[in-house]
Amino acid sequence: MIPLVMVHGFMGGRSQWDPQVPALSPHYDLITLDLPGFGRNAHLPVLDNIGGFADWVIAQLRQQGVTRYHLLGHSMGGMIVQEMARRDREGIDRLILYGTGSVGVLPGRFETIDQSKRRAREDGPIATARRIAATWFLEREKAAAYEACAEIAEQSAPAAIPAGLDAMQGWAGSDFLPDITSQTLVLWGDGDRTYPWDQTYTLWKGIPAAGLAVVPGCAHAVHLEKPQIFNQLVLDFLGS
């Protein structure tokens, strides 16, 4: 059985995938990781570049003896897995780019990265965690999964917040999209406040073997807002 590796995004953690475990684990060995500085790995030295995160994930997989796998990345994790697709091309079977884009500096983001840095300094890590988590959901703080998502974000090391923002701000992968050879699914919620449609379109049209799934009535957290639809899309794509 080829494992499915799931990489979370900025101020996320492996626990955010808990709603996926019952549906996906009967079909795939799930490998979920807390990136350095986030979740249960908040104690690890933080990283400030996307390539460094990609190398770290690949090293973790090799330590587990994993050389062939499906790969899913969400948000900043989608940037990380794009780098992995370049660095570990022969290891990746199918690729899912979820709620992400091909550049770190995003036109149309709910706020610029510089604004996020300033507000994080002014507000502190806990308030930042809760504010960022709210942007993931169409109904913001009223969403059923908001509180659990905010609690995961609150685990982020204070130093990981500016470092993660620096990592995104310093990354661009648009020129390398034609080099991604894996069968790819681009998955997006039509109310995403972080990654606008033009970023999704760029991934879909820029990757040679890419398909597209747009889920209506969701923001940045399709897997938490409409988990049954998300899970079925993943299963259909990986099993097709």
CB 183 within 8 A of CB 116: no
Grade residue 144 by pLDDT with cuts at 50, 70 and 90. very high
Do residues 211 and 186 lie in contact, with contact meaning Cβ atoms separated by under 8 Å?
yes
Please provide the average confidence, as pLDDT, over all residues in the chain: 94
* C-alpha span between 108 and 100 (Å, rounded): 13
Q: Average of pLDDT values for 123-136?
A: 91
Helix 76-87 and helix 50-63: axis angle, to 10°?
70
Fold (topology level) of 4-239: Rossmann fold (3.40.50)
Give the pLDDT band of residue 112 (cuts 50, 70, 90): confident
- In this prediction, residue 48 carries a pLDDT of 96
Average pLDDT for 160-169 = 92
Sequence spans of domains, the chain: 4-239
Is residue 123 scored above 90 in pLDDT?
no
Confidence (pLDDT) at 115: 82
Question: Residue 84 in contact with residue 92, Cβ under 8 Å?
Answer: yes
41/204 Cα distance (integer angstroms): 32
**In the 8-state DSSP scheme, what is residue 38?**
S
pLDDT tens track for 1-18: 899 999 999 999 999 999
Measured CA to CA, the distance from residue 186 to residue 138 in angstroms comes to: 20
Q: Please say whether the beta carbons of 195 and 98 come within 8 A.
A: no
Going from the C-alpha of 42 to that of each of 87, 91, 132, 227, the distances in angstroms are 25, 27, 17, 26
Q: What is the largest CA-CA distance in the chain?
A: 48
Residue 153's alpha-carbon distances to 3, 10, 43, 72, 203, in angstroms, are 26, 8, 14, 20, 27
Is residue 55 scored above 70 in pLDDT? Answer: yes
Q: What is the per-residue pLDDT for 236?
A: 97
The per-residue pLDDT for 108 is 65
